[in-house]
């Protein structure tokens, strides 16, 4: 489990416990839990999208570098005529 996952679980657990121990009516508590759940879901998706974008950038950079290496290898090699004959 990654540090980000542990952090998100800790935040969710803390928020839920805080709301459950608050002296509000059940309907108010349910609305708060729903709002907290939506906020956590939004944050999770933002982090996921950020990681996905970074991985795409790294993949593109790696692909560009690999392409450059292929181009270097494919350049024609000059042929030198041999003076040695059999």
Taking only the tens place, the pLDDT of each residue in 24-77 is: 787 887 888 889 889 888 888 888 888 888 888 888 877 777 666 665 555 566
Cα 55 to Cα 6, 7, 45, 58, distances in angstroms: 21, 21, 15, 5
Percent of the chain whose predicted confidence (pLDDT) is above 70: 74
Instruction: Give the Cα separation of 82 and 79 in Å (integer).
Output: 9
What is the model's pLDDT at position 29?
77
Using the 8-state DSSP alphabet, how is residue 22 labeled? Answer: S
- For the entire predicted model, the pTM comes to 0.47
The domain segmentation of the chain, as residue ranges, is 25-52
């Amino acid at each position: 489990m990654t540090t980000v996952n542990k952090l998100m679980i800790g935040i969710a657990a803390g928020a839920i416990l805080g709301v459950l121990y608050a002296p509000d009516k059940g309907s108010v508590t349910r609305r708060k839990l729903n709002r907290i759940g939506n906020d956590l879901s939004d944050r999770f998706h933002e982090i996921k999208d950020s990681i996905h974008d970074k991985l795409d950038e790294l993949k593109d950079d790696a692909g560009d570098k690999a392409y450059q290496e292929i181009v270097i290898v494919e350049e024609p090699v000059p042929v030198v005529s041999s003076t040695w004959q059999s």
